[in-house]
Chain A
Amino acid sequence: MRHLLSISDLTKVQALSILDTATELARVSDGAVKKLPTLRGRTIVNLFVEDSTRTRISFEAAAKRLSADVINFSAKGSSLSKGESLKDTALTLQAMGADAVVIRHGASGAPQRLADSDWMRGSVINAGDGTHEHPSQALLDAFTIRKHCVKGGNDLVGVRVAIVGDILHSRVARSNVLLLNLLGASVTLVAPPTLLPVGVESWPVKISYDLDKVIGSVDVVMMLRVQQERMNDLFFPNAREYSRYFGLNADRLRLMSHNSIVMHPGPMNRGLEIAAEVADSARSVIVEQVANGVSVRMAILYVLLAGGPLEAGVK
């Protein structure tokens, strides 16, 4: 495996191996020493063409705990904001000797363009591209779900997950649908019909327009952020109505089944898709998701970067 562009690049065995590796690496984060020498001498570039402080610092922490050198390259104040093309940026990173590029980009498919081009040779890790995918988020979500909802067994067979909100524009939803399905969970998408993509019928999921009908029969409720720019784009009448039908409030929290958990990829709009008392409740694992993010991203970096080329595999 050279790149991580989409969950569809992964087999079930590979996905589980990343989760298992993350489980071992979580020890490092918990222990007194927060550093391993594994990626010493490797250069990882965080190329954040679209801003995302949370994802960037998570990848940065992961890389540093593995002793990699980290270069942050963000849109603001850089050549990227001066109209430099992706190609020229990639050529620059290649010239600097980047072993891997962690890329966040507003355009769907930009990481794949980098990986498929001959502009640079390093590994490409998709840290969220447009409305396409966010594979590291899905892996950390699966990691979190496995910790809470699975007894015995290492996959997610039998776990029931509802993903609620703006599916149409959500890269988190796309990656999660693929990964949860790969690991054997059953997924229900809950959204107003305007926020489901045409073509969703072909996805391996159930569809519901009614959160109240779904909420009592799932183990995980994963809330998606409602982007501010959707408010005035005819997807729903207004924030209040959206919140009434698709927000997770205290009343709905009480309908949730025993031992079920609430997730959110962040950043949250408290009071819109999730009520403050839900976000702070005992069912919420939202803060834990952030902590797990570092371990899972360490595992991704380890799997992609620690080994040499496959042909060197002679003992």
Chain B
Amino acid sequence: MSIALSAPDISRALKRISHEILEANTSSDQIVLLGIPTRGAHLALRIAANMSSLAGHTIPVGMLDITMHRDDLRMRPPRPIMPTSIPDSGIQGRDLVLIDDVLFSGRTIRAGLDALGEIGRPHTVQLAVLIDRGHRELPIRADFVGKNLPTSIAQSVKVHLNEVDGIDEVLIEES
């Protein structure tokens, strides 16, 4: 087990992502952030706070549960559904940024794109992740990446966040 990112690393990475999102989207008042529970939602809140102070106005943020759209439901025991909350602004015609902790096979994001279909039709959908560990199984890539972390398929990447785990760190575990 080794520490891939420490708390200051995570904080720096999120700040950089916040800047990049604002730079990539010319009209910041059109941006909506949606985090994927559990940890993606907390990352979204942190990024939104960063962006709001940079932009000088509140960036709308919510969370989007993708459980019902997963394609691997039957491969695991039933899992609880997490809450979904969409900002009052809605997502129709907006520049929407999905936020998750780790980008791996890409299946979670595919489910996220499907889940969005229920809610509305954004102008663009972008993706921000804290870690991209490779091993994609679908044609999906992230627009904003905190850190690229080359891993072997046998390893697992654990993201711990203060809000959930009491500590900020990213670990690589050999299985």
Mark A residues whose CB is within 8 Å of B: 1, 17, 20-21, 24-25, 27-28, 31-33, 36-38, 66, 302-304, 306-310, 312-313, 315
- A37 and B78: CB pair below 8 A? no
Interchain nearest-CB distance for B160 vs A (Å): 16
B174 contacts partner chain A, Cβ-Cβ < 8 Å: no
**Distance between Cα atoms of A28 and B156 in the complex (Å):** 34
- B78 and A302: CB pair below 8 A? yes
Interface size class of B (residues with CB under 8 A): 20 to 34
Interface residues of B in 95-113 (CB under 8 A from A): none
Contacts of A36 in B (CB 8 A): 68-69, 118
- A31 and B75: CB pair below 8 A? no
Contacts of A17 in B (CB 8 A): 80
**Distance between Cα atoms of A32 and B92 in the complex (Å):** 13
- B76 and A308: CB pair below 8 A? yes
Mark B residues whose CB is within 8 Å of A: 65, 68-69, 73-84, 114, 117-119, 156
Contacts of B118 in A (CB 8 A): 28, 31-33, 36
3 cross-chain pairs, A with B, having the tightest CB-CB distances, nearest first: A307-B78, A33-B118, A308-B74
Given contacts A24-B84, A31-B119, contact A307 B79 (CB under 8 A): yes
Contacts of A66 in B (CB 8 A): 68
- A27 and B84: CB pair below 8 A? yes
Inter-chain contact total with CB atoms closer than 8 Å = 58
- B80 and A307: CB pair below 8 A? no
- B73 and A38: CB pair below 8 A? yes
**Distance between Cα atoms of A309 and B78 in the complex (Å):** 8
**Distance between Cα atoms of A28 and B118 in the complex (Å):** 8
Interchain nearest-CB distance for B154 vs A (Å): 13
- A312 and B77: CB pair below 8 A? yes
- B117 and A33: CB pair below 8 A? yes
- A306 and B73: CB pair below 8 A? yes
Contacts of A310 in B (CB 8 A): 77
**Distance between Cα atoms of A66 and B73 in the complex (Å):** 13
- B117 and A308: CB pair below 8 A? no
- A313 and B76: CB pair below 8 A? yes
Interchain nearest-CB distance for A223 vs B (Å): 32
Contacts of A302 in B (CB 8 A): 68, 78, 81
**Distance between Cα atoms of A32 and B119 in the complex (Å):** 8
Contacts of A308 in B (CB 8 A): 73-77
Interchain nearest-CB distance for A233 vs B (Å): 44
Given contacts A28-B118, A31-B118, contact A307 B69 (CB under 8 A): no
Interchain nearest-CB distance for B97 vs A (Å): 21
Contacts of B80 in A (CB 8 A): 17, 20-21
**Distance between Cα atoms of A36 and B76 in the complex (Å):** 19
Interchain nearest-CB distance for A42 vs B (Å): 9
Pick the contact of A25: B77, B81, B82 (CB < 8 A). B81
For this complex, 6 residue pairs linking A to B, each with C-beta atoms less than 8 Å apart, are A1-B78, A24-B65, A33-B118, A36-B68, A38-B73, A313-B77
Contacts of A28 in B (CB 8 A): 118
Contacts of B117 in A (CB 8 A): 33
Contacts of B68 in A (CB 8 A): 36-38, 66, 302, 306
Pick the contact of B114: A20, A37, A313 (CB < 8 A). A37
Interchain nearest-CB distance for A254 vs B (Å): 39
**Distance between Cα atoms of A307 and B78 in the complex (Å):** 4
- A38 and B69: CB pair below 8 A? yes
**Distance between Cα atoms of A21 and B84 in the complex (Å):** 11
Interchain nearest-CB distance for B48 vs A (Å): 22
Contacts of B75 in A (CB 8 A): 308, 312
Most buried by B among A1, A37, A310, A312: A37
Q: Closest residue of chain A to B115, judged by CB?
A: A36
Interchain nearest-CB distance for A302 vs B (Å): 7
Interchain nearest-CB distance for A40 vs B (Å): 9
Interchain nearest-CB distance for B135 vs A (Å): 14
**Distance between Cα atoms of A1 and B74 in the complex (Å):** 14
Contacts of A33 in B (CB 8 A): 117-118
**Distance between Cα atoms of A1 and B78 in the complex (Å):** 9
Interchain nearest-CB distance for B155 vs A (Å): 13
**Distance between Cα atoms of A303 and B78 in the complex (Å):** 6
Contacts of A304 in B (CB 8 A): 78
**Distance between Cα atoms of A25 and B84 in the complex (Å):** 10
Pick the contact of A307: B65, B76, B84, B119 (CB < 8 A). B76
**Distance between Cα atoms of A17 and B80 in the complex (Å):** 7
